[in-house]
């Protein structure tokens, strides 16, 4: 890709990776104990399987990009990346928006969910306004009786649900917890971050646990301007993911 377009930046390459990766035949064949969070997700999202055997399913985020907890956005298609790189235009500048903080301590129930809700305008009208997401960070401070049983999920305003901390059976910590620990996801790539975000905290495992979330800060990283303006695939070749996201961004701009 860099030989085809030496002007590519590291962020351009991330965008190219997202847009040119494919699902292929990747699937999670392992039977897992995934909880039903009781949270309604966006169209195409499904983390729960049938009966007692659940898997990490392929989901679709708010702009139509498929992703999987295990496989990300899929298998890299090198030929597709090179072709798109040839017509690529450098993405707009990236901004970092501190979208809000919940600093009141909240107890994590031994069963069920602790749901922290944060409504943000994504720094609208400021020099760090973000309208099109790249990375999202949930910066969390918490303590629990067994850190390895603590799991975290982040739900975007579009309904995209991401596991940002899974169960760790060998993590027996009961003192240190997490202090201002940044948990990052790219699964909301391209979405508009404005609206209600939810951080879901729950215990998973056979122990009866207890704990406290002390602080949650939401950090948004992305662009103010649409990233794919003026990019047209090579003649006779259509990148479907690029077109899908461009259409989603166009619809979103009409609503603003």
Q: Is residue 50's pLDDT more than 60?
A: no
**Contact of 217 with 100, CB cutoff 8 Å:** yes
Q: Rounded to two decimals, what is the model's pTM? A: 0.89
Residue 188 belongs to some domain of the structure: yes
Comparing 192 with 251, the larger pLDDT belongs to 192
Q: Which domain holds residue 187?
A: 94-223
Q: How many domains does the chain have?
A: 1
Q: What's the burial of 27, exposed, middle or buried (CB within 10 Å: 0-12/13-18/19+)?
A: middle
Q: Which residue in the block uniquely carries the two structure tokens 């006779």?
A: 236
Residue 216 belongs to some domain of the structure: yes
pLDDT tens per residue, range 153-167 = 999 999 999 999 999
Residue 172 belongs to some domain of the structure: yes
Quote the tokens at residue 203: 């215990």
Phi, psi at 242, each rounded to 5° = -60, -45
Residue 115 belongs to some domain of the structure: yes
Per-residue model confidence (pLDDT) at position 254 = 64
CATH at residue 108: 2.60.120.260
């Amino acid at each position: 890709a860099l030989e085809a377009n030496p002007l590519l930046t590291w962020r351009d390459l991330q965008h190219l990776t997202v847009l040119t990766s494919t699902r292929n035949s990747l699937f999670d064949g392992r039977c897992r104990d995934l909880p039903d969070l009781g949270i309604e997700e966006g169209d195409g999202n499904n983390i729960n399987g049938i009966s007692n055997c659940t898997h990490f399913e392929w989901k679709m985020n708010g702009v139509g990009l498929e992703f999987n907890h295990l496989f990300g956005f899929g298998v890299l298609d090198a030929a597709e990346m090179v072709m798109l790189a040839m017509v690529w235009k450098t993405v707009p500048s990236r901004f970092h928006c501190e979208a809000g903080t919940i600093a009141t301590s909240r107890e994590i129930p031994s069963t069920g969910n602790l749901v922290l809700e944060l409504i943000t305008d994504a720094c609208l009208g400021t020099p760090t306004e973000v309208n099109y997401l790249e990375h999202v960070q949930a910066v969390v401070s918490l303590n629990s009786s067994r850190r390895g049983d603590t799991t975290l999920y982040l739900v975007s305003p579009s309904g995209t649900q991401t596991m940002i901390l899974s169960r760790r059976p060998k993590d027996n910590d009961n003192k240190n917890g997490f202090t201002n620990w940044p948990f990052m996801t790219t699964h909301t790539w391209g979405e508009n971050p404005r609206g209600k975000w939810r951080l879901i905290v729950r215990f998973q495992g056979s122990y009866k646990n207890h704990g406290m979330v002390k602080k949650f800060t939401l950090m948004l990283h992305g662009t103010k301007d649409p990233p794919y303006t003026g990019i047209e695939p090579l003649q006779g070749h259509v990148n479907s993911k690029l077109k899908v996201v461009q259409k989603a961004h166009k619809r979103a701009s009409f609503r603003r």
